[in-house]
Amino acid sequence: TLPEQGPPLEIYFNHLPSPGEITDDDSIDFRSRDAVPQAKENELLACLYSDRDVQTGRDIFGTEVPHLDRKPVVLKAGVNIRIEEHQDRKSYYSTMAGWARIDKEVISVRPYFRHDGDVDYRVGNIKFDGDVEITGDVFSRFRVQSGGDVVVHGSVERGAKVFAEGNLTVHKGVIGA
């Protein structure tokens, strides 16, 4: 069920990582951030409403603040996205399962996940159903799980765990093994 009123763009997949996961002892595991949004085939990812204006917001004191940027909201379909046009909105659906993302006003779904950088606290553990590519290192105590192949262009530190249902390639070595 779609809401009656709201912002011009509504995103229905978890496109922002969480700060961490609360553990059984009420502490926070900052490695578990759920930072890789995965879409299912034919999943509704976003709706862009043509009849909604950019709304005002509220500051931390509850005072209404006008929205100064009056540019219209734009969302373009990238790879593996199907648009359904309705009278008041465009609905964006994935045409395949994979990594859902919005980058520079383009929504897309990729069959693989590529992380540019190290697997550390900025991204957290990586869990993805398809292939995973990491351009940096996998730091100690972090985990990478893949339903396909994993390629690490850097190294894997002692204490890190990398699981691949397919092939595992580490270009700069496994430290401590």
- Over residues 6-34, the mean pLDDT reads 85
With 0-12 / 13-18 / 19 or more C-beta atoms within 10 angstroms meaning exposed / middle / buried, residue 109 is: buried
Above 90 in pLDDT, residue 92? yes
In this predicted structure, the answer to whether residue 4 has a pLDDT above a threshold of 60 is no
Average pLDDT, rounded, for the chain: 89
Q: Is the pLDDT of residue 130 over 90?
A: yes
Cα–Cα distance between 35 and 37 in angstroms, integer?
Answer: 6
Whether the predicted pLDDT of 70 surpasses 80: no
Residue indicated by tokens 């969480």: 18
What is the per-residue pLDDT for 53? 62
Model pLDDT, residue 168: 96
Whole-angstrom distance, CA of residue 119 vs CA of residue 149: 16
Q: What is the pLDDT of residue 120?
A: 95
**pLDDT for residue 56 is more than 70:** no
For residue 27, the model assigns a pLDDT of 87
Mean pLDDT of 144-169: 97
Please state the rounded mean pLDDT for residues 126-143.
96
Pair type for strands 126-128 and 106-110? unpaired
Closest by CA position to 19, among listed 141, 128, 102, 124:
124
Please give the Cα distance from 174 to 150 (Å, whole number).
14
pLDDT of residue 43: 97
| pLDDT above 90: residue 7 | no
Label residue 2 by pLDDT band (50, 70, 90).
Answer: very low
How large is the average pLDDT for residues 80-104? 95
